[in-house]
């Protein structure tokens, strides 16, 4: 029975990773590379979420259950509500997930500006996936004015938090003048200093 639940949960995480795949499709990766990364992300998210599910009252696990239909009918609105409750409490994974739901219009009206708002909160909580998607939004001007220096800053931070984002950061660096890359790195370092000082 537990194996069946785990299998369903992995399926849910593959669905969430597919959101990442769609969001990251403009990064110059081949479809096979992007799919392999999405599958790896799904497994990692499944393991993380399964570990959190030790508490039966765990809202994050419940949100993913409603998102994926694991033991309950798929209910994106309920998932979004649970993600929002956690996101408003400062839970970076929930902030990221709620942002993805806004980006894709699942359980909430599609709203790129609202997606960016939640990605930014997740990014400020040092969640590499939130940093990555905030960087992409800034790079493309999706839901936020285009700002390539800030995009580089967030992609730099995402790459520091998870090596799989190094390629996206480096691809952007190739498109920018050296001065912009240097400024993005300076801002990333400033972010580290600000957060290590506990401000």
Widest Cα–Cα separation across the chain: 57
Report, as an integer, the average pLDDT of 163-176. 96
At 11-38, the pLDDT tens digits run: 444 455 445 444 444 444 566 665 666 5
Name the nearest CA neighbour of 79 among 62, 93, 96, 92. 62
Higher-scoring residue by pLDDT: 162, 24: 162
Q: Crossing angle of helices 148-161/178-196, nearest 10°?
A: 60
CATH value at residue 49: 1.25.40.10
Q: What is the pLDDT of residue 102?
A: 96
Question: Three-state SS for 90?
Answer: coil
Dump pLDDT digits (tens) for 66-92. 998 888 899 999 999 999 999 999 999
The answer to whether residue 59 scores a pLDDT higher than 90 is: no
pLDDT per residue as tens digits for the range 91-121: 999 999 999 999 999 999 999 999 999 999 9
Closest C-alpha among 111, 83, 116 to residue 97? 83
Give the C-alpha separation, 95 to 183, whole Å.
27
Compute the C-alpha angle 4/76/112, nearest 5°: 130
Total count of domains within the chain = 1
Percentage of the chain with pLDDT > 70?
A: 70
Residue 92 domain boundaries: 2-196
């Amino acid at each position: 029975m537990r194996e069946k639940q785990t299998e369903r949960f992995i399926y849910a995480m593959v669905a969430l990773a597919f959101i990442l795949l769609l969001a990251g499709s403009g990064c110059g990766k081949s479809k096979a590379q992007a799919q392999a990364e999405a599958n790896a992300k799904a497994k990692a998210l499944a393991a993380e979420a399964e570990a959190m599910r030790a508490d039966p009252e765990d809202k994050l696990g419940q949100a993913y259950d409603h998102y994926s239909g694991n033991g309950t009918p798929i209910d994106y609105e309920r998932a979004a509500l649970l993600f929002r409750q956690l996101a408003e409490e400062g839970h970076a994974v929930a902030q990221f997930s709620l942002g993805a739901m806004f980006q894709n219009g699942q359980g909430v009206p599609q709203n790129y500006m609202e997606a960016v708002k939640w990605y930014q909160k997740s990014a400020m909580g040092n969640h590499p996936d939130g940093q990555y998607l905030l960087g992409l939004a800034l790079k493309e001007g999706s839901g936020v004015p285009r700002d390539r220096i800030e995009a580089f800053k967030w992609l730099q931070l995402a790459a520091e938090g998870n090596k799989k984002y190094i390629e996206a950061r480096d691809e952007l660096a190739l498109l920018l003048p050296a001065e912009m890359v240097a400024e993005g790195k300076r801002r990333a370092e400033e972010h580290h200093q600000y957060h290590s000082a506990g401000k």
